[in-house]
Structure 1
Amino acid sequence: MSRALDPVVPPPLRALLDADPGAEAADGFTLLLLTTRADGWPHQAMLSVGEVACAGDDRLALAVWPSSSSTANLRERGRATLTAVVDGVSYLLRLDVREAGELATPLGGTLARFDARVVAAVADEAPYARLEDGVRFTLNDRDATLTRWREVKEALR
């Protein structure tokens, strides 16, 4: 069952995004960024907690590969949907997005930075079942990746 929320980053998601990328709850956590291609079809990208930071109750900062389809779509259309599963709830955030320049870090390289404002938020959960998980991953080089993510998140803040 879906329910509309206030247009802010929901507290369980915010707690995860504010935590250190190496925290146990963030381990393998994936956010799905949905943008719209020029032909009108959706494009999906996966972001980690090392590429998204809260910048206020209704604000997010995103670090995206500069030559990616997502970056092109965000530049052209300025809208996205971000989804994540946290504590048995699927969250959907509709975002107005604007490019905020480049984000250059020694380990993360040069990324495109986008500032996003939450314009709508929805929580979805079924009364008859608990959503266990969303997309998850395992890092190949945990220490190097976490060091890079910490650097990128600090630059986003």
Structure 2
Amino acid sequence: MSQFLGSTLTEELLKRLSGDDIASQTGKAILVVSVDDHGWAHPAMLSYHEVVAKDRSRIDLTIGKTSTTAKNLKRTGKITLLITDAGLNYYLKGTANELRDALEGIPFMSLFRVEVEQLLEDQEPDALITSGVTFSRPEKQEVGVIVQRIFQSVKKEPL
């Protein structure tokens, strides 16, 4: 059963989402859920390169500007992030507002700022979480360049 922790990130989550040690999060996904125009939960995945905590109550994230998730966030502003990895499992609920319709030099990505409203932890003592969702990218230089440009754009966005 999940436990309400408050309306700010824990130190552990702030460190994990700060982007300061992005290499340790490479290949790990953050699940995000928005609400579609029929009231259904709409899942999507982001990499840690697309999600950066600015402080304990604000997180910036980039989303494909024509995606259903971006359209849902513009319409409702509601988002839930599932941050799951070995030994940890958090649900972060917040309100998202679009800061930029396009990132500089990356016109297909929008920038949103999420204000944290609820942070819940879900850890069952008899059901240890052993991993989160992981992925691998093709070893293409152009993909790596775009990923790094996206990360740098989100990281440098002022509070």
TM-score range, shorter chain: 0.7 to 0.9
- TM-score, length-normalised on structure 1? 0.87
Is the Cα–Cα contact under 8 Å of residues 105 and 155 in structure 1 kept in the other structure? no
> How far apart are the structure 1 equivalents of 2:120 and 2:76?
21
In the TM superposition, what are the counterparts of 1:30-69 in structure 2 within 5 Å? 30-69=29-68
| Contact persistence 1:50–1:152 (CA under 8 A) | no
- On the 8 A contact 2:79/2:94 being kept in 1, the answer is yes
Map of 1:9-48 to 2, 5 A cutoff? 9-20=9-20, 22-24=22-24, 26-48=25-47
Do the aligned partners of 2:6 and 2:119 also contact (CA within 8 Å) in 1? yes
Name the counterpart of 2:129.
131
User: Residues of 1 paired with 2:115 and 2:19: CA distance?
Assistant: 20
Structure 2 CA distance for partners of 1:32 and 1:147, relative to 1, 3 Å: same
2:110 corresponds to: 112
Gaps of 5+ in 1: none
Where does the alignment leave 5 or more consecutive residues of structure 2 unmatched?
none
Query: Matched residue pairs, number?
Result: 155
- The 4+ residue runs of structure 1 with deviation greater than 6 A are none
Percent identity between the two aligned chains: 25
Q: Partner of 2:7 in structure 1?
A: 7
Q: Deviations over 1:66-90 (max 9, x none)?
A: 0000000001111111111144121
Q: Which has the higher strand share?
A: 1
Preserved CA contact (<8 Å) 2:78 2:96: yes
Shift of 1:133: 1.0
